[in-house]
Structure 1
């Protein structure tokens, strides 16, 4: 491990688990790109994708994880705002959950509340979190985030919005009243799926909704939004 390795930010136990999971995610990427083949025209043109109701099931066995540098950026943001309560929409197999839980622990303690629709993925995420030694800082809820986050306590310091884009705005609106001033919202895939996220970004960048929002160049474009009022 060198200082250029993003995993050098973490303790050796968590880093070891993440190294294995990130490598598994890398091996899956070609297959996941093939699954998106039918969506490529819309993605290239920046248009919303038209998917059949069962399309989400294509990825029930996929990691869909943040890359190492992107995840390290989320860790750094969580440290910067001294996050104690974090919400994650789209836990998948728990890669980003481990990064965020490590930040919460390194900030002195707290909870990452994860949400995952697929029960099998949620169970694997819990196992990975336990293996990383971070179970005391994670609460993974299984089911529709619009239900599992309905009784969310505040204040929330950081939100990672990384679930399916057609639900992203509804989930953000649900969580927004609990975001403290200065809280950070990080949204994945906004550049790669700009058609799907056009309405979401428009909402975030409307000053009436209380955010300052910019794009950073991770994974084709990641939206970073700060709650200012």
Structure 2
């Protein structure tokens, strides 16, 4: 079986990005405007954890979704894991989102270096708008952008989720994810949800249908 995460070309890119991310220096305050917020964090990686990346890869390999949507591409660490799984499945496409132009360019360069650019389209602008043209059904969603927007982004995508679609949210230990967790953990909203104990927490929710 193919495992692109073990390929030297992919591993070298991920090792470099994780090493750079370990040096992240966060600003003390952020603008409230989403675009200004994104631009203020233009040099901050904000990555998933290595174990979180392996979980994402495994979920995509298992579910074999035709369409994968990622809210919050940043420098492309999570995107590479998703794209590697799509490539190994031999089908599907990843649609990412990134508001900051420099990060979009860097993510594209990292995907090119990893040999996975053909599996990904990184969309510019606010994901609530840029995702509007993605055709369903969507089989897997990763929510790793601004935490206060995870719930609105999910709700905007719900009409396109196929029954059984997986929704993965990162950093669920953050207080700003409380509204999101309350939503996906309420069976009335159509999800079966469980937290995975990776760094900062990942919530994996199965959409059972409206």
Kept in 1, the 8 Å contact 2:64–2:92? The answer is no
> CA separation in 1, counterparts of 2:4 and 2:68?
22
Partner of 1:228: 208
Asked whether the equivalents of residues 159 and 186 of structure 1 are also in contact (C-alpha less than 8 Å), the reply is yes
Matched position secondary structure for 2:65: coil
CA contact (8 A) 2:67 2:94 kept: yes
Contact in 2 for aligned 1:188/1:222 (Cα 8 Å):
yes
Alignment of 1:53-132 (within 5 A): 53=32, 56=37, 57-132=39-114
Please say if residues 63 and 92 of structure 1, whose CA atoms lie closer than 8 Å, have aligned partners that are also in contact. Answer: yes
Distance 1:9 1:121, change over 3 A: closer
Q: Which has the larger radius of gyration?
A: 1
Q: Does 1:18 align with 2:14?
A: yes
Matches within 5 A, 1:190-229: 190-191=172-173, 193=174, 195-229=175-209
Tell me, which stretches of 5 or more residues in structure 2 are unaligned? none
Where in structure 2 are the equivalents of 1:156-175 lying within 5 Å? 156-175=138-157
The C-alpha deviation readout for 1:11-35, integer Å capped at 9, x for no partner, is 221111111111111122xx23xx3
Q: Does the CA-based 8 Å contact 2:60-2:85 persist in structure 1?
A: yes
Q: Which residue of 2 aligns with 1:138?
A: 120
Aligned residues: 204
- Corresponding residue for residue 155 of structure 1: 137
**Cα offset, 1:182, TM superposition:** 1.4
CA contact (8 A) 1:17 1:131 kept: yes
Distance across 2 between alignment mates of 1:8 and 1:124: 21
Unpaired segments ≥5 residues, structure 1: 1-6, 39-50
Structure 1: which 4+ aligned runs deviate by more than 6 Å? none
Measured at CA, do residues 86 and 10 of structure 1 come closer, stay the same or move farther in structure 2, by a change above 3 Å? farther
Equivalent position SS for 2:134? coil
* Alpha-carbon distance, 1:146 to partner: 0.8
